[in-house]
Structure 1
Amino acid sequence: MSKQAMVVLSTAPDKVVAVRLASVLVEGKLAACVNIVEGVRSLYWWEGNLHDDKEVLLVCKTDEAHLKELTATLEKLHPYDCPEVVALPVVGGSVAYLDWLIKQLD
């Protein structure tokens, strides 16, 4: 594996939005896989108010070459004014899985 694998975290307000976003990313080959994790509780400040919301977490597996377009796609399609898009480099893991991930994005 020569390309840098990445994990991108984002949240959505509900399962319908999460599935729609994940489908666009995977079908567009911006992510090799997106896990949809329901039941996430998020506490955060927004416009001076403390929020405590139920959300759905998206765990997107991609590579560095697709990160910019994946981020732009999430920002464009997401219903939030300021969607969470946090990218983390993958520093290790199953070589077979990471090779598979990269091949899906070619």
Structure 2
Amino acid sequence: MTALIYCPFPDGESAESVGATLLDEGLIGCINIGAGIVSLFSWDGERGSGEETPALIKTDARLLERAMARLEALHPYDTPAIVGWPCQASKGTQEWLGGLEGEPE
């Protein structure tokens, strides 16, 4: 089964750097890095806003937890918003992502 991870970054450069590492480690098959977005949020009881760069990451469901943990460790935010979920995908996509190995733990 395929899985997706959504995570905003402070900028495109950090998204590319983290994505490249996850690709090199075999934990993901692809990262789509979007254009800037405006985020409105509540943090530590305060309302805030800022510009971020969204990323949608594709992996295999068996690697989801490892990919999310590694993403959290590499992310420049102290507490990044990382949301991952298994999902249905086309047969070709499942075969592609199902071939990911991930570096041994």
Query: Could you state the TM-score of these two structures normalised by the residue count of structure 1?
Result: 0.86
Measure, in 2, the Cα distance between the counterparts of 1:62 and 1:23: 14
Contact 2:4 2:57 survives alignment (8 Å):
yes
- SS of aligned partner of 1:101: helix
* Match among 58, 61, 83 for residue 86 of structure 1: 83
2:91 aligns with 95
Unaligned runs of 5+ in 2: none
**How far did 1:98 drift?**
2.1
Measure, in 2, the Cα distance between the counterparts of 1:86 and 1:46: 17
2:3 aligns with 6
Greater than 2 Å deviation, 4+ residue runs:
none
Query: Could you state the TM-score of these two structures normalised by the residue count of structure 2?
Result: 0.87
Confirm whether residue 43 of structure 1 aligns to residue 40 of structure 2.
yes
Measure, in 2, the Cα distance between the counterparts of 1:14 and 1:82: 16
Contact 1:32 1:102 survives alignment (8 Å):
no
Measure, in 1, the Cα distance between the counterparts of 2:68 and 2:95: 22
Two-structure CA RMSD over aligned residues (Å): 1.3
**How far did 1:101 drift?**
1.9
Contact 1:22 1:58 survives alignment (8 Å):
no
Unaligned runs of 5+ in 1: none
Count of paired positions: 101
